[in-house]
Amino acid sequence: MLKINNLKVSVGDQQILNGLDLKVNPGEVHAIMGPNGSGKSTLANVLAGRDNYTVTEGSVQYLGKDLLEMAPEVRSREGLFMAFQYPVEIPGVSNIYLLKSALNAKRKHQGLDELDAVDFLSLVKEKLDLVQMDRSFLNRPVNEGFSGGEKKRNEILQMAVLEPKLSILDETDSGLDIDALQIVTQGINTLKSETRSIILVTHYQRILDYITPDFVHVLADGKIVKSGDRSLAYEVDEKGYGWIKN
Amino acid sequence: MESQEHLDSIVDREYQHGFVTEIESDTIPPGLNEDTIRAISAKKNEPEFMLEWRLKAYRNWLKMIEPKWSNVKYPPIDLQEITYYSAPKTAGDAPKSLDEVDPLLLDTYNRLGIPLEEQKMLAGIAVDAVFDSVSVATTFKEKLSEYGVIFCSFSEAVKNHPDLVKKYLGTVVPYGDNYFAGLNSAVFSDGSFVYVPKGVRCPMELSSYFRINSSKTGQFERTLIIAEEGSYVSYLEGCTAPMRDENQLHAAVVELIAMDNAEIKYSTIQNWYPGDKNGKGGIYNFVTKRGKAAGKNSKISWTQVETGSAITWKYPSVILKGDNSIGEFYSVALTANHQQADTGTKMIHLGRNTKSTIISKGISAGKGQNTYRGLVRIGNKAEGARNYSQCDSLLMGDRCGAHTFPYIEVKNNNAKVEHEASTSRIGEDQLFFCKQRGLSEEEAISLIVNGFCKEIFNVLPMEFAVEAQKLLDISLEDSVG
């Protein structure tokens, strides 16, 4: 699915990722943990194709293709999804309009017919249940006036509609109370499958109580310094990141 | 910055109505003096009262000076170089039946997407087509007359309904109102006239389509709409012009009068040639539009989508004279490249319990400068008057500007005036978010801009809303390479 090889990335003059290696197979859930400034969000952003990040060395293969050569919208249409840490607001644009545009952009890319309003509505209704949102949500402007929890649920709703192959969840647990965390993680769990992979970027192990990772990696100074199974997350939680750095 | 160039390429739109119709014109020589005015009046076989009014306006105008307070910059306009009357020769002195209209003109309007043959038109819209200085055709006149609705060119109204013209002309925008209105009063050549009798709900949308074709010609049209007691009319206007290197002047006057319980809804899609991307050419659009909500419970509503013109100077206003009368102003103004817009509204509250709403959306891109200028005045007798104003600006890139100048004068303690303003930039974050969801940059910008304008598009008549969205989207076509 995804193969990152010796990835070095800088922002301006500052090098953030320092030769990162990571391999994700279909169906796997990888958690990337690390202290603030370790490069977690940089990794997520580079994979999604955000401007202002310069790849100075290394390669990223996604489904056998060179990911770094693809425009961000092409990455999306090819099944790469990023759930944002801080979802943006788009005033005046209804949720349903955004969802429909996004899904149809993907379907067009795949050579499929675009869905009409009726078919789309029945599809989206199913997905709403996953994140326990009611239909009124669809007509509200994207994220405008949404609570923190609603914004994160909305990200997962978009994920559910787009059915990505690889999802990168950037601090999806941040700012969520326990109820919202449950709803969001339940939604994510339903979307797990043998063909879909997830990269969970997180500061705390709390979310891993709800989504069981196959692998846990600890990032420090732009590199993966330790990998292990779920127990590594508990260890980090107990001893702090300082323990690994030393 | 790379994204700046990218934004530039996106807003660097092709103007789609820039063609010229090769048609022989009957033109009077350039220059402005009393002879010019007499010549225009003679061409139109006007009654004496009309010429007298024009001359009074002209003599008064000579004492006026061009206003300099607006936030737009342009070189001096030489009014002696402009042609004040130019009409297709074949148009004769008045449009007759459609069979007699020059096929070249019909073709011009077809190319603009305005077929004048009634059977081809959208069934619910009657059109008055104004080409340079004259109205060349008015459709559905007979059907409208069954309801007693008069919809014709201004020239015809002067001839066929002189009493109405005499009674109302200049009552909302007097010829001494301002420099450009004064000029228009002296030299106006044509425009539309609408009269809706008591109790009649006009059965179709009325519209005028203004086209400037000849070079070095100014267009000075005048529109007068009278809605008698308990009547309703919705009127739309659209405007385009060929691409030319010189600037052309358009100075129009629109007067609306609504009696007791009457409602006038006036919508504009202004897409005059904006000039090229270096700021060369384009229309100078200096327009005075004003409505008088004269009767009690009357309502006047202005909706405008302004995407064209090199310079726009325009403040569609409402005088809220009748008790409980309502004034509304909904506006989208887009300035790209070197375009400048100074636009807004005036809401003059005179009657009791009068209400006004102002929603203004300014979009600036390239080096465009967008100014909202608005006045809310509450007179001392306007007990219980209320106003709500909202001015939002959206910036694309970092070389454009948005400016807001709200003026508020309240002389009654019972009045309630609210003003909200916001400025935002199409953020990298929003664009990236949309792209991450699979949308191209064009699609993303279109989505964000249309979202920003939604409140305005919602109040446009349906056909116009679609056209307005398309117009904004044209800027987004063929742009991402």
Nearest CA in chain A to B442: A73
- Beta strands A29-33 and A215-220 are parallel
Instruction: Provide, as residue numbers in chain B, all residues whose Cβ is less than 8 Å from the Cβ of A51.
Output: 2-3, 428, 432
Residue with tokens 């989206």: A124
Q: What is the mean pLDDT of chain A?
A: 92
Question: Closest approach of chain A CAs to the CA of B429, in angstroms?
Answer: 7
Q: How far apart are CA B150 and CA B147, in angstroms?
A: 9
Residues 110-139 of A with CB under 8 A from B: none
What is the rounded average pLDDT of the residues B95-111?
67
Alpha carbon of residue B323 to chain centroid: 27
Residue with the larger pLDDT of the pair B196 and B83: B196
**Pairwise CB contact (< 8 Å): B435 & A72:** yes
Closest CA to B342 of B51, B72, B76: B72
Q: How far apart are CA B85 and CA A218, in angstroms?
A: 79
**Pairwise CB contact (< 8 Å): A51 & B3:** yes
Nearest CA in chain A to B457: A92
Element (H, E) at A149: helix A148-162
Most B CBs within 10 Å: which of A51, A73, A142, A154, as the mutation test of the B interface? A73
Task: Give residue ranges of B with CB < 8 Å to any A CB.
Answer: 2-3, 427-430, 432-441, 443, 447-448, 450-455
Closest CA to B233 of B197, B257, B256, B205: B205
Taking CA atoms, B208 is separated from A169, B151, B333, in Å, by 54, 10, 20
In a domain, B481, yes or no: no
Is A13 in CB contact (< 8 Å) with chain B? no
Residue-wise pLDDT for A184-217, tens only, equals: 999 999 999 999 999 999 988 889 999 999 999 9
Q: Which residues partner with B357 through β-bridges?
A: B328, B388
In a domain, B40, yes or no: yes
For B437, which of A51, A141, A158 is closest by C-beta distance?
A158
What is the rounded average pLDDT of the residues B293-304?
96
Question: Closest approach of chain B CAs to the CA of A189, in angstroms?
Answer: 21
Please check whether residue B379 is in contact with residue B410, taking contact to mean a CB–CB distance below 8 angstroms.
no
Q: How far apart are CA B98 and CA B109, in angstroms?
A: 13
For A92, which of B432, B435, B454 is closest by C-beta distance?
B454
**Pairwise CB contact (< 8 Å): B433 & A87:** yes
**Pairwise CB contact (< 8 Å): B430 & A84:** no
For B432, which of A72, A92, A141 is closest by C-beta distance?
A72
Question: Closest approach of chain A CAs to the CA of B440, in angstroms?
Answer: 6
**pLDDT computed for residue B144 by the predictor:** 87
- Give the ranges where B98-257 is alpha helix by DSSP (H): 103-111, 141-146, 154-160, 162-168, 179-187
Per the structure block, which two tokens stand in for B117?
A: 């043959």
Q: How far apart are CA B183 and CA B199, in angstroms?
A: 35
Per the structure block, which two tokens stand in for B401?
A: 């500007």
Contacts with A51 (C-beta within 8 Å, 6 or more apart), sequence order:
B2, B3, B428, B432
Residue with the larger pLDDT of the pair B395 and B325: B325
Which one-letter DSSP state was computed for residue B351? S
Alpha carbon of residue B91 to chain centroid: 24
Could you give the domains of chain A? 2-245 (3.40.50.300)
**pLDDT computed for residue B162 by the predictor:** 94
How many Cβ contacts (< 8 angstroms) between chains A and B? Answer: 77
Q: How many residues does chain B have?
A: 481
In a domain, B479, yes or no: no
Is A48 in CB contact (< 8 Å) with chain B? yes
Q: Is the pLDDT of residue B479 over 50?
A: no
Q: Name, of A186-195, B7-16, B125-134, the range with top average pLDDT.
A: A186-195
CA angle centred on B393, ends B252 and B457, rounded to 5°: 65
Phi first, then psi, for residue A147 (nearest 5°) are -75, 165
Please check whether residue B405 is in contact with residue B376, taking contact to mean a CB–CB distance below 8 angstroms.
no
Domain enclosing residue B259, as ranges = 2-474
Per the structure block, which two tokens stand in for B290?
A: 């004003």
Is A107 in CB contact (< 8 Å) with chain B? no
Q: Is the pLDDT of residue B166 over 80?
A: yes
Nearest CA in chain B to A48: B436
**pLDDT computed for residue B30 by the predictor:** 85
Please check whether residue B273 is in contact with residue B30, taking contact to mean a CB–CB distance below 8 angstroms.
no
**pLDDT computed for residue B421 by the predictor:** 87
**Pairwise CB contact (< 8 Å): B436 & A48:** yes
For A101, which of B443, B453, B454 is closest by C-beta distance?
B443
User: Listing from the earlier edge strand, what are the strands of the sheet with A29-33?
Assistant: A80-83, A166-170, A197-202, A29-33, A215-220, A223-228
Contacts with A41 (C-beta within 8 Å, 6 or more apart), sequence order:
A85, A170, A171, A201
Domain count, chain B: 1
Q: How far apart are CA A182 and CA B121, in angstroms?
A: 57
Element (H, E) at A130: helix A117-130
Instruction: Provide, as residue numbers in chain B, all residues whose Cβ is less than 8 Å from the Cβ of A48.
Output: 432, 436
Q: How many residues does chain A have?
A: 246
B361: helix, strand or coil: strand
**pLDDT computed for residue B118 by the predictor:** 58
Closest CA to B93 of B41, B37, B35: B41
Q: Kindly state the percentage of chain A with pLDDT values over 70.
A: 99
In a domain, B480, yes or no: no
Q: Is the pLDDT of residue B374 over 60?
A: yes
CA dihedral B104, B110, B114, B118 (to 10 degrees): 80
Is A50 in CB contact (< 8 Å) with chain B? yes
Residue with tokens 């879909």: A196
Alpha carbon of residue B12 to chain centroid: 23
**Pairwise CB contact (< 8 Å): A77 & B438:** yes
**pLDDT computed for residue B7 by the predictor:** 52
Nearest CA in chain B to A106: B438
**pTM summary value:** 0.81
Q: How far apart are CA B62 and CA B123, in angstroms?
A: 46
pLDDT band at B245 (very low <50, low <70, confident <90, very high): low
